[in-house]
Amino acid sequence: MCGIFGMLGRQASLQTTRRALAVQQHRGPDDTGWVEIAEGPLCLGHNRLAIIDVSALGHQPMASADGRNWIVFNGEIYNYRELRRELGDYSFRSSSDTEVILAAYARWGVACLERFIGMFSFALWDGERQELLLARDRLGIKPLNYGYVDGTLVFASEIKAILTAGHAVTPDAETWSDYLAYGIYEQHDRTFFRGIRQLPAGCYMYCRPDGTSSINAFWDLKQIVETAGAAPLESDELEALMVDAVRYRLRSDVPLGVNISGGLDSLLLASMVDQLAAPGQKLHAATAGFSDSRYDERGYAREVISGTRWLPLETAEGPDMLRSTARVALSHQEAPIGGIATLAYHNLHEKIRAAGLTVQLEGQGLDEMFAGYAYYRGLTDGSQSLQGWLSEGLYQDGTSPLARDVLSQSLRDAGQAWHWRVPALDDAVNQALFVDITQRKLPRVLRMNDRLSMAHSIELRVPFLDHRLVEAAFRIPGLAKIAGGMSKRPLRDIAQRRHPSMTSIWSEKRAVVAPQTGWLRGAGAGFVEDCLESPWLLDSGLFDVDRLRDRFRVFVQNGANNSFFVWQWVNVALWCELFVGGAWRDHAVRTQAHGMV
């Protein structure tokens, strides 16, 4: 996993490219490279985190064997060995998956994207067509942002690199309205910066030197779900798919570990890693905990990894984390963050890196594929309609997290009633799961996890989001995923077969909770008050400030069943301070000073 940057157009400059690469050097501290291609004019830059073929032969930007095409690549193509055998007539010079992309494009053109199992974003200059291809993986695990500066296309893994190239910072009013009024973090192609877009997941974009471009999809889960038919997915087949996905993601030439909580998903992942890892190989298991035992999962996590090969790696966070971590974490995120659990996870990856690990696996995605959250159950018993579920913006525990009454009228006017893309199915649960996977929940989790792991030069792999497994999951009816009063029923059946004695983990659903509400009402209330009185929030025009202050006083005095709306206010204050005010540059300088550059 790495960082990529490029400019296509008259303003393309190696000097700007080098400055932009310095800003996102944390994504790839092992090597830095750039190239200028006169035909564009085009500049390509790369920050390398060496994982597959760590030798100098994996240096990027990388040219094709005939010298016509160039690539910068972020991510992993897990089935690169199988593809390499299929492309045996290509003159390979390295053993990297990057060169496999070049070979695959030479053989199959843009159709090569359909053959990749992996997470990726890359830019590939096609010297014959004189076009630049930008591509992003099916679920958007890897980021790819772009904008225009004086008519020149600028693209990068992180938005800060685009700002370094001269793009103006202006909040995107519609995106902020959708976030504050509906709880929507991630848009199809917009970002929180006006004029800076993200390439949609599962899409590719051809860009030309004359400024024209075209975007097309190479993967459409909605169409796949609607036309999949009713072929049942047997439990053994589901388990085999999961094991195969984990097997691919254990491919690495550097040390790796596993992120573990005390839940079912972690139990399954740890079990499969244990099954597939080399005999005698020591494995690190990382867990983010809290000093308050009521919210601490470290004890449950230790149950999951019982065995001599597992080495626990743990953190225990307290309320002081709010002031010490929030600004630097949001500077890396470039968009609102989810709350204190995200901050704790950010700090955990700092400890992981200090332990000498470069690759981590985690069990993300199974809740969204197999109905792991409480709010799905109302769709099965008639207490909740799909339309009502979508319009209320419920949190994963079924509570309402929004405070629309404190928003300014101008912000309400900027937004529009949110329209979800829903597949035509006679299955409300699977319709809801599709929305969470593609729009409402998973995209923000993937963005946050990419930024917080890469902030510490860690590649975070998500085996259960293998596109083959995602597609197969929709062959299981929603009612079969919530059966016998239990969520994720197919996964619990697998866990019962693999670990019949660990009933405390596979037979129960414990909500993943953090002490956020208590902290924001108590030890962290002063931090929130400072944010609410920040000139960046007061002058943002996003709130009725008097109502906001009153609402916070009521929250501190009486509490609430969800504190998401308070964290939204914190996000606004810090984002405006960092990006509108320019403080992100100071954070970038400090990151470089600590040895990332």
Contact, 389 vs 151, CB < 8 A?
Answer: no
Give the torsion sign (CA, 11, 13, 15, 19).
positive
Strand partners, 156: 5, 145
Compute the distance between CA of residue 372 and CA of residue 366 in angstroms, rounded to an integer.
7
Output Rg (C-alpha) for the chain, integer angstroms. 23
| Catalytic status, residue 576 | no
241: left (phi over 0), alpha (psi -120 to 50) or beta: alpha
Would you list the DSSP string of 434-502? Answer: HHIIIIISHHHHHHHHHHHHHTTT-EEE-GGG-HHHHHHHTTS-HHHHSBTTBSSHHHHHHHHHH-TT-
Q: What share of the chain is helix, strand, coil (3-state, %, to 5)?
A: 45, 15, 35
The vertex-504 CA angle with 501 and 507, nearest 5°, equals: 90
What stretches of 157-278 adopt beta strand conformation (E)? 197-198, 203-207, 213-217, 256-259
Compute the distance between CA of residue 16 and CA of residue 433 in angstroms, rounded to an integer.
42
Coil, helix or strand for 81?
A: helix
Q: Is 462 exposed, middle or buried (0-12, 13-18, 19+ CB in 10 A)?
A: buried
Tokens 């619990």 locate to 492
Closest by CA to 560, choosing from 521, 523, 533, 514, is 521
Is 97 one of the annotated binding-site residues?
A: yes
Q: Sort strands 359-361 and 310-317 into parallel, antiparallel or unpaired.
A: unpaired
Q: Is 519 exposed, middle or buried (0-12, 13-18, 19+ CB in 10 A)?
A: buried
Edge-to-edge, what's the strand order for the sheet holding 70-77? 62-63, 70-77, 118-126, 131-136, 203-207, 213-217
Closest by CA to 333, choosing from 251, 444, 439, 248, is 444
Check residue 200 and report its DSSP letter.
Answer: P
Per-residue CA distances from 270 to 243, 283, 284, 367, 446 (Å): 11, 10, 11, 17, 20
Closest by CA to 258, choosing from 356, 357, 343, is 357
Check residue 77 and report its DSSP letter.
Answer: E
Name the packing angle between helices 489-498 and 235-249 (round to 10°): 80
Tokens 């006017």 locate to 413
> Cis omega (within 30 of 0) on the bond before 41?
yes
Binding-site residues: 97
Residues with catalytic function: 2
